[in-house]
Amino acid sequence: MQKSPSHSPAANGRWHGIWPLVWPIMLSNLCVPLLGAVDTAILGHLEAAKYLGAVAVGASLLSLLYWSFGFLRMGTTSLVARAVGRNDSCEATRLWLQAATLALVLGLTLWLLKPWLVELGLYFMQPAPDTAGLAASYCAIRLLSAPASLLNYTLIGWFIGQQDTRRPLLLVVTANGVNLLLDVVFIIGLQMNSDGAAWASVIAEYCALAVGLMLLAGKIDRTHLKAQWRRSITAWSEYLPLLQVNRHLFVRTACLLGVFTFFTAQGARMGTEIVAANAILLQFVLLTSHALDGFAHAAEALCGKAVGARNRPEFIRVLQGTTVLALITAVAISLLFWLGQDYWLSLFTALPEVLAHANQQFGWVVVLPLLTVWAYQLDGVFLGSGATRAMQNIMLLCTAGVFFPLWWLSQPLGNSGLWLAFCSFNLARSLVMALVFRAQLRLMSL
């Protein structure tokens, strides 16, 4: 006989079961921007800003490209979490096989289209002449890792959907450890500069994939795997639920990354020093987003399980717990940035012109965690409850109705206007998502 929700361990305490899920995700998430920060710091201390500018442009393009397929992570987590809530492990296995098949096909397609994708991306970005060739070389090398990168998304998504956040931590730590070691060897030792950073990332992605598959073998039910693999590859009609979720997430993620890419492109058109300064400041933005995403991932897994089990009290408990913890974390991040501004910036570069531009805009970095905290946390709640269409529509509204109009009006302010539009866009996401979710919560049938 099942225990009632009021007597279950999960019901005892608002935060019970949340923090054990959050901290491994937060650590694994932070490894990604921390590694980017190491790349930035090493390149920022070379003799010229052009290498840092090239990686800023190239990495922005690849983020847009790869995270356009971020649905392979988010959609997998959401659907697997609901399958776990229904105690359907066979369905959970089939979902990973489907996601992995899609990832492999898409990754190989990106690999084959590499020359045209690089040319198109650089045409859009229009970087300064001294960085364009370096950025093209960086992108061409990094695209070799496309199949591994997308397969890693599915592995991380599946583990989190299973409420297993320690295996993704091992996967990401391995990748970033390899990347860090190779950065030192390639950039400093062999003086390969921006190309060295690209090769380090490629090798690290394939190392991560090898580790991820080994971790999967120790977690997945091999009986279900053998029973489902042929059906998952051939029964294309059964991909419909995954594709429906992914369609909304693709549009949502493409809009978000389009904003980031446009932001970088506008900085690149203002000059090498400005794009380099913005690249440094965006490292702080990425640190913030990846830290707060820990609560989004936990909310996604726990809310998805509650929806699958039709347990409304548990859903509300997870919502309240992740909300409070996320706010505390956002305040701590803002204080940490504010108190250590000079120290943090000095870690990234010693170039006077770049430092001057970075110091001028650092205030935006300090307030941004407080503006974006609800957007990140509610992303997880929306995903877990399957409200992906609402996520898509909110992102379209904030991109077309807030970011681009404000950027257009604030162009006379230069880089400050660009940051104003970017921060306003993130605040709008938080406010609109909160209003929409409050309305949807009354209608949810749990």
Report in angstroms the alpha-carbon separations of 294 from 43, 235, 322, 395: 28, 34, 10, 20
Chain-centroid distance of CA 193 in Å reads 25
Q: Give dist(CA 422, CA 130) in Å, integer.
A: 27
Q: Give dist(CA 211, CA 214) in Å, integer.
A: 5
Within 310-403, where are the H helices?
A: 312-339, 341-348, 352-384, 388-398
What's the start-to-end Cα distance of the chain, in Å? 21
**Contact assessment for residue 70 and residue 153, using Cβ atoms and an 8 Å cutoff:** yes
Name the burial class of residue 393, with classes exposed (0-12), middle (13-18) and buried (19+) by CB atoms within 10 angstroms of its CB: middle
Q: What secondary structure does DSSP assign to 215-256, as a single string?
A: HHHTTS-HHHHHHHHHHHHH-GGGGHHHHHHHHHHHHHHHHH
**Contact assessment for residue 315 and residue 246, using Cβ atoms and an 8 Å cutoff:** no
What pLDDT is attached to residue 4? 38
Closest by CA to 301, choosing from 22, 71, 48, is 22
**Contact assessment for residue 399 and residue 317, using Cβ atoms and an 8 Å cutoff:** no
Q: Which residues contact 328 (CB under 8 A, 6 or more apart)?
A: none
The secondary structure of residue 3, as a DSSP letter, is P
**Contact assessment for residue 341 and residue 115, using Cβ atoms and an 8 Å cutoff:** no
The letter for the amino acid at 90 is C
Name the burial class of residue 442, with classes exposed (0-12), middle (13-18) and buried (19+) by CB atoms within 10 angstroms of its CB: exposed
Q: Give dist(CA 423, CA 432) in Å, integer.
A: 14
**Contact assessment for residue 308 and residue 83, using Cβ atoms and an 8 Å cutoff:** yes
| H or E stretch covering 137 | helix 129-142
The token pair at 205 is 């992605």
The letter for the amino acid at 288 is T
- For the chain, give the longest Cα–Cα distance: 70
What pLDDT is attached to residue 45? 57
The token pair at 367 is 């307030």
Q: From first to last of the 446 residues of the chain, give the pLDDT tens digit.
A: 333 343 333 444 555 566 666 666 666 666 555 555 566 666 665 655 666 666 666 666 776 677 777 777 777 777 787 777 777 677 777 788 888 888 888 889 888 887 787 777 777 666 666 667 777 788 888 888 889 988 988 898 888 888 777 788 888 888 888 888 887 888 777 877 777 888 888 898 899 999 999 888 877 766 655 555 565 566 655 666 666 666 777 788 788 878 887 887 888 788 778 888 888 888 888 778 877 877 777 777 777 777 777 778 878 887 888 888 888 889 999 999 999 888 888 877 777 888 888 889 999 999 999 999 888 888 888 877 777 788 889 999 999 999 999 999 999 998 999 999 999 999 999 999 999 988 877 766 55
Residue matched to tokens 């991380």: 156
What pLDDT is attached to residue 192? 76
Q: Give dist(CA 6, CA 8) in Å, integer.
A: 6
Tell me the HSE value of 378 on the side-chain side, using a 13 A CA sphere.
25
- Is 368 in a helix, a strand, or coil? helix
The secondary structure of residue 17, as a DSSP letter, is T
**Contact assessment for residue 73 and residue 154, using Cβ atoms and an 8 Å cutoff:** yes
Q: Give dist(CA 140, CA 205) in Å, integer.
A: 15
pTM of the entire structure? 0.68
Exposure class string for 280-318: b at 16+ Cβ within 10 A, else e: bbbbbbbbbbbbbbbbbbbbbbbbbbbbbbebeebbebb
Q: Give dist(CA 289, CA 305) in Å, integer.
A: 24
**Contact assessment for residue 28 and residue 175, using Cβ atoms and an 8 Å cutoff:** no
**Contact assessment for residue 403 and residue 424, using Cβ atoms and an 8 Å cutoff:** yes
